[in-house]
Amino acid sequence: MDENNQDGSEVLETTEEVAEETIETPEESAEDRLTRIEAEKAELEAKNKQLYERAKKAEEAKKAEPSNETNLSPKDFLALTEHKVSSEDFDEVIRVAKILDKPVHEALRDATLKTILEQRTEERRTASATNTRGSSRGAAKVSGDDLLRRAEATGEVPDSDEGMRALALARAQGK
């Protein structure tokens, strides 16, 4: 028996009537069902294979990417400190250690790396020694005699009390 809902639609009273309306297709045979399940299985296997390939490629790409982080052990840090490696040479030491496929503390014992580090240290020393620019010179202390000569020649007298004392002392000694 059908009743009308408040909005005017029909409401079914029994579950049998609901079941009859939802099943519009006849029951499929066992063979059809098996075929459908096998098709779904093949489709899922194909998707699974695609996902596996994607994950494998992503993992390979992640391994292939060079990482900017270097995982130095405390032993490596200690070795760098003991060998007095400049911070400018850290990257070089790590690069050589990777090439030699050795930990940093073992790579520091390598003769080639020692030579490279010694050469770089010498270059820095030479550059520092030849650097004539940028170093400030100390103020030259003017002696009393110089102040006296300048005062007599140009009439220029020192501004500070200390300069005036030195000028007076030089003049007194000159007499």
pLDDT over 60 (residue 26): no
Q: Model pTM?
A: 0.37
Same domain? For 53 and 80 the reply is: no
Residue 160, SS3 per DSSP: coil
Residue 110 lies in domain: 74-129
In a domain, 89, yes or no: yes
In a domain, 151, yes or no: yes
In a domain, 115, yes or no: yes
In a domain, 5, yes or no: no
Q: Which tokens sit at 85?
A: 């490696």
Residue 2, SS3 per DSSP: coil
Same domain? For 122 and 149 the reply is: no
What is the distance between the alpha carbons of residues 173 and 156, in angstroms, rounded to a whole number?
A: 20
Using pLDDT thresholds of 50, 70 and 90, give the confidence band for residue 24.
Answer: very low
Domain end (from 14, 41, 63): 63
What is the distance between the alpha carbons of residues 50 and 37, in angstroms, rounded to a whole number?
A: 20
When divided into structural domains, the chain yields a total of: 3
Same domain? For 86 and 107 the reply is: yes
Same domain? For 87 and 118 the reply is: yes
Mean pLDDT of 93-112: 87
In a domain, 158, yes or no: yes
- What tens digit of pLDDT does each residue of 42-55 get? 999 999 999 999 99
Residue 138, SS3 per DSSP: coil
